[in-house]
Structures are given as C-alpha cells and as structure tokens.
Amino acid sequence: MIKLGVPSKGRLMEKTFEWFAEHGIVLSRTGSDREYAGAVDGIEGVSLVLLSAGEIPRELAAGRIHFGVTGTDLVQEKLSLWEQQVAPIREMGFGHADLIIAVPQCWSDVDTLDDLDAAAAAFRRVHGMRLRIATKYHRLVREFLRGVGVADYALVDSQGATEGTVANEAAEAIADITSSGETLRANHLKILSDGLVLASQATLWKSRVADLESGDQAILQTFLERVER
Amino acid sequence: MSDVKRRAYEVRAQFEAAGAIVVEPPILQPAETLLDLYGEDIRASAYITSDALRGEQMLRPDFTVPVVQMHMAVGAEPARYTYAGEVFRRQENDADRASEFLQVGYEVFDRADPAAADAEVMALIVQAVAHLPTYVATGDIGILMAAVRGLRTTTARKEALMRHIWRPRRFRALLDRFSGRTPVPDSRIAVLAGQAVETAPFIGKRTASEIDVRIAALHADAKAEPISQTEVDCIDVLLKVRETVPYALEQLRDIAVDLPVISKAVEGLDARAQAMSARGVDVDALPFEASFGRTSMEYYDGFVFGIYAQGHPDLPALASGGRYDALTRHLGQGAEIPAVGAVLRPGVMVDLEGAL
C-alpha cells in the first residue's frame, strides 16, 4: 500500500483534492467532519492520510508516508538536508506564498538589505541590543541573512500574528509568509525590495526513505505516471 | 579511559610542561555573552537550553570565551592556560560532523612580544602533531584591517568595512558601492532627493530621530569622494596574496609602496616569521594566504593558522588558532590584553594515528 499525505483542512485540502481529481485520482474525506479519515478512488493500492500541512515534511522524512502535499517553505524550514530526504515531484500551482522580510513603512531610509544592515548597526549602538526580527522560519531566515551578510540582528520567535509584533515593540522587523500583502499594509509594514527569502507553493513530494513492500513499486509507477501527466 | 581522552590529557600535559596553568571552565555557559558576541549565527551552531532561574544557557561551543573572561576577571599577567574537554556544536547541514568532541587548547596572554607569542603557540601545536602527515595554512587578518583603516575615505565608510571584514560578500558589495563601481539604488536616490516622504504612522522602537540621523549619514556619504580605483586595486591584490612566507613578504612590501598604511602590519609578519624560525618552524616552506580565516574565524584579528590532515579532505581541521586582541577588549569591560591561542582535536589525531 502506498500512503499519500494531504493537508487535512481548509482551502489547501480542497485545492489538493481538485488537483488530484484533474489527474484522475479522486480523494475524499469519509465519516464525520471531525474524523480525519479518507478514501481514494480511481487508482488501486493508494491510501489517504490526512495530516496538518506542518507535519507532512516530518512524516515524509520519517518514511511513514510515500507521498505528501505541502509547501516548499515548510519542507525547507523543518528538514535539514531536505534534498536527501524528499524529492519534489510536481509544483501544484496553488498555495503560493512568499517568505519575505518586512520593516515599518515609516522607515523611509530603508528599502534594501543593505539599508537593513546599516540600520541594524546603528540600532545596536543606540539601544544596546540587536535589531529584532520576528519569525517562525528561523532556519530559512538565518541562512538567508548569513548568505547576504546582514549582521547585528536577532531572531525572536513568533508563532502567530507576527505582523503585530512591531507595533507591540516585541520586534523591529518581521520575516513571514505573505500571500497578498494586505495584512502587511494594514499593519504599516513594507517589504524590502530585495527581501524575498523564498517563493513557496504547494508541492507534491516523494519520500526518499519510505519502504516499499512487494507490489508497491508497480503502484508507485502508476501513481507517478498519473500525476506527471 | 578512551584513547581519545588519554590523548587529550597527554597533549594537555605537554602544554602544561610548556608553562601553562590547567583550567576547567564549566560546560554550561551563560548564553547572553556568546549571543552578544557572535549574534544569531551562534544559535545555528550551539545547543541552547534554559531554566527559570538562570535563563538561557549554552553548552560550551568553545573554550576561548570562558578562558578570556576568567583571565580578565582574576588573571595575573602574563599568563598561559591549557585545557582539555568537550565542546558541543549543533550540526544542521552535515550529519557526518560530530556534535560533541574533545578539544585541547593553549592560550597566551602576554603584552611583551606579540610576534614571539604567536610563534610560541604555533610551534607548540606543530610539535604536538609533528608525527602526523599534515599541512599548515597561515594568514593575518591584521594586514587587511590595516589597509581598511588607512583608506583615504570617511570614518563611517571605514567602520562599515571593518564591521564586515569577516563577511567577504558584504565587504565586497560595500567596497564596490563606496568606490562608485555599483550604481546607487533608485530608492537611495529618492531618499537623497527628499522624495521618500512617509505618511505612515510611526510604529516600533526605532524612532523618527534615528531615521533622520541615518538620512543625514546618507547625505554625508553621497557628498564624499569615491574610494580611488588605486586603493581598491591595492586591496584586491592584497587579498590575492598566496605564497610561501618569504615570497608573500616580498609581494606585501611591494603593495605597501602604494599602500604605506600596511607597512607596520607587514613588518609584524616578518617579525613573526623570524620568531617562528627561531623556534624551528621551516618558514621558507610555510604557506601564507592573505584571505585565510576571513569566513570562519570571526574573532581573530591578527595572525591565524590551521593544520589539516594530508590526504584526508573529509576530516575536520586538526588544529586552528590565532590572535584575538579585540575579543579581550570586548569581554574585558574597559581592560584589554594582547592574546593568542589555538585548539587541537585529539579525536582527529587518534584517527590519523590509526591510519598511519
């Protein structure tokens, strides 16, 4: 049996179901709305596992599911050496989200990472602390800022309502996923012109480590042929 | 006792015999000092834990910082210290690298003769691994720093370059901009023309006056003459010097004709070479690389060196070290003392000895 992990609720689940239906694989939830059980029609030997999108990278890396649908951002944040554990099969064309760095709109002197770095140096001198960037994507943001050579900042953890951290003086800037930018504007923040850390979208991933039982290889081939059409 | 631990104590005993006092800093270190020193990058490479009483604590990622703190607090001068113990490094990108390993170190705090102290540290380490097939790399961050300090440009630009000495990519971007090699971004032009007026409300801790100060600094920078092509070329040539010590000295002296501000640092290299020679190091065959140690050794600000296993590119450095005068200034709360030190990995020594 080949296991396919899919986000368990909301628009991401609906879009995923639609995408698979277009490829002749009909996914559905069974039982009550609260029960995370599902059925697969149109292909033999594949079972559906409904999971939170955030858990799918870990399940793929552990080999407990063979395929999974989740964002590039979550895979790269949660898995180190992700290329060795999972392989991208198809970008699915929805769930677009950019991980960006944003600063207060009132910072008229700051538009680029170069400006942010200079502002961080001055901020540290004036306030005796590093310029704080609120995020839940610690690894991605840290690696990005190291790569471009921004210094004198500190990441502070924010698991939700990140756009509000600046007004609350819990951070001076943020790094977060934005799909429209409206929430940023409403919170008086602007995106740095070169502050795109990662462009993410819903992607179908294959686990490189999940075990195959006898007969699974044929099912896996059929599945791949369907989704790659 | 394991082979590696036995080896660690043997090496520490050699360092003790050379005049060092044995010290044993605690494994748990207050995270604040290290975070303040290294910034966010240390979070990626150190294990951080916490309790309600002492707050964030770090599993010792190296010995240098606690040894410097201890010396600055209670040490007599001059002083030599040695230690052997585990250090802990988080590994996010390479499963083959150890996250816990033994280090043996030797640190010298001595004002009298920096060249002699540099030579003493390297000679001791070289001696400890003399029975193994190794090669040595050396450099001197102080020469690049002297070149930057001596640029004919504004203090603000020199400070910006000095701040990024250890980040070659940002250093290069800044140098290109200060010398007019890259165009001024449109958004910067708008700010300078007074067109970047914001109507958004002020939020956050960074105040309107801080923004005004930065804009004034941008105006001052726009008025300053670009750094001359000659000076930029000198830095480019300087960074490319990669020779044995005698030839490197020759090249650096040539560069110093156009860039006399580096002369003192270059003569420091010569003095060090002589001190090494006196301690039996074959200086004529010793490699020197002006950009060595720029990416991985943030607190070193003078002499730097690394020793690697020949024919084992998979193994980490057998030993590494250098001069860190600025670190003592940073941790010394007003006090400072010239300092140089090095660490050796007995685990790698034992691996290599097994392969002999």
- Predicted confidence (pLDDT) at residue B313 exceeds the cutoff of 90: no
Across the range B283-309, mean pLDDT stands at: 89
**Chain A environment of B94 (Cβ under 8 Å):** 81
Please give, rounded to a whole number of angstroms, the shortest distance from the CA of B199 to a CA of chain A. 7
**Chain B environment of A80 (Cβ under 8 Å):** 92-93
- Give the alpha-carbon dihedral of B249, B250, B251, B257, to 10 degrees: 100
CATH of B1-132+332-356, one of 3.30.930.10, 3.30.70.360, 3.40.640.10, 3.90.180.10: 3.30.930.10
∠ Cα B331 B333 B336 (to 5°) = 70
Per CATH, domain A97-200 is 3.40.190.10? yes
Alpha carbon B20 to its chain centroid, in Å, reads 23
Question: pLDDT grade, residue B36 (50/70/90)?
Answer: confident
Tokens matching residue A51: 């999971």
Across the range B94-121, mean pLDDT stands at: 93
CB B303, CB B178: distance < 8 Å: no
What is the distance between the alpha carbons of residues B302 and B111, in angstroms, rounded to a whole number? 14
Question: pLDDT grade, residue B290 (50/70/90)?
Answer: very high
With CB atoms and an 8 Å threshold, state whether B170 touches A107: no
What CATH architecture is A2-95+202-228? 3-Layer(aba) Sandwich (3.40)
Asked whether the bond before B78 is cis by omega within 30 degrees of 0, the reply is yes
- Give the pLDDT of residue A33: 64
Taking only the tens place, the pLDDT of each residue in B45-56 is: 899 998 888 889
For an interface test with B, which of A79, A107, A124, A144 has the most B Cβ atoms less than 10 Å from its Cβ?
A107
Indicate the average pLDDT of chain B. Answer: 92
Q: Is A130 on the interface with B (CB under 8 A)?
A: yes
Q: Is A149 on the interface with B (CB under 8 A)?
A: yes
Q: Which among A109, A111, A188 has the least Cβ separation from residue B201?
A: A188
Q: Is A124 on the interface with B (CB under 8 A)?
A: no
Nearest to A205 by CA among A83, A49, A89: A89
- Give the pLDDT of residue B275: 97
Residues of each domain in chain A carrying CATH 3.40.190.10:
2-95+202-228, 97-200
Domain extents in chain B: 1-132+332-356, 154-227
Nearest to B223 by CA among B268, B142, B156: B156
Each residue's pLDDT tens digit in chain A (229 positions)? 899 999 988 899 999 999 999 999 999 988 766 667 788 999 999 999 999 989 999 999 999 999 999 999 999 989 888 888 999 999 999 999 899 999 999 999 999 999 999 999 999 999 999 999 999 999 999 999 998 989 999 999 999 899 999 999 999 999 999 867 888 999 999 999 999 999 999 999 999 999 988 889 999 999 999 998 7
| Structure ipTM over 0.90, yes or no | no
CB B130, CB B206: distance < 8 Å: no
Q: Which among B40, B171, B203 has the least Cβ separation from residue A167?
A: B203
What is the distance between the alpha carbons of residues A92 and A227, in angstroms, rounded to a whole number? 10
With CB atoms and an 8 Å threshold, state whether A167 touches B206: no
Q: In chain B, whose CA is at the least distance from the CA of A172?
A: B204
Please give, rounded to a whole number of angstroms, the shortest distance from the CA of A148 to a CA of chain B. 7
Please give, rounded to a whole number of angstroms, the shortest distance from the CA of A194 to a CA of chain B. 11
Q: In chain B, whose CA is at the least distance from the CA of A82?
A: B93
Residues above pLDDT 70, as percent of chain B: 99
